Amino acid sequence: MTLNRLIKLTLSILFVVLFSSKSFAAGSNIENLKVDWSFAGITGKFDRSSLQRGYQVYKEVCASCHSMQYLSFRNLGEKGGPEFSEEEVKAIAAGYEVNDGPNSDGEMFTRPGRASDKFVKPYPNVNAAMAANGGAYPPDLSVIVKARSGGANYIYSLLMGYEEKPADFVLDEGVYYNKYMEGNKIKMPAPLSDDLIEYSDGTKASLDQLSKDVTTFLTWAAEPHLEARHKTGTKVIIYLILLATLVYFSMKKIWLRVDSEK
């Protein structure tokens, strides 16, 4: 490869990296709000308190409309997640009624939830969900952070982005203005507001805090093994650095021998 081609290739890679690093709201020219997330970066870790508060926000606010079909109650106690105690997980699960069966008589029945059960869905099917929400289907939140361009910053921005519409902006009935939403139109009313819930740990439940906590929880739900992946990545990088150092000095020693023999 010639020097000119190498320079062009390097510049192209830099352009792609710099361009792709900008995080914009989906379908919007407004750049997402930036948050210094504890889980960002190769050594990032989840804030346990934030994860537990985020679950509380999901349970008390989001769960009335949005499912999380890929999560089980026992996941709430696993390492790398909210890390609720075994007793807390059992208590959380037991607070739900789960459809089960059939029993020995061939009939379905309800029972208290168990740690092994999946999160209980708010609606029995898609049609029921749409009928209860004006024809809009509330998306499952299990992997919503990974499914949306901009990831955690976009979800946080969306939650913070509800505003009064501009005077010349037309909204249909039952539609709300959000400056980070594609087309600035969203059927979901603002789900969060200051002091909407009372945090069990006493943290002030401001709109900003609620949005950050539930976004942190949703990020963990989408990437439950993030911390383990970061730990593995760090080890690999250290190994490669050591290997590169050993190769460098080995090659240097070899070339010194070659030069001395000339």
**Predicted confidence band of residue 215 (pLDDT cuts 50, 70, 90):** very high
Interatomic CA distance for residues 113 and 91, integer angstroms: 9
Q: Which residues contact 128 (CB under 8 A, 6 or more apart)?
A: none
Average per-residue pLDDT in the chain? 87
* pLDDT at position 126 over 80: yes
Q: What is the mean pLDDT of residues 86-108?
A: 94
* pLDDT at position 111 over 50: yes
Query: In the prediction, which pLDDT does 104 show?
Result: 87
Distances, alpha carbon 90 to alpha carbons 75, 118, 131, in Å: 11, 13, 33
**Predicted confidence band of residue 261 (pLDDT cuts 50, 70, 90):** low
* pLDDT at position 7 over 80: no
Tell me the per-residue pLDDT of 220-229, one tens digit each, with 9 for 90 and over. Answer: 999 999 887 7
Interatomic CA distance for residues 109 and 94, integer angstroms: 15
Query: 93 and 115 in contact (C-beta within 8 Å)?
Result: yes
Q: What are phi and psi of 12, to 5 degrees?
A: -65, -45
Query: In the prediction, which pLDDT does 118 show?
Result: 97
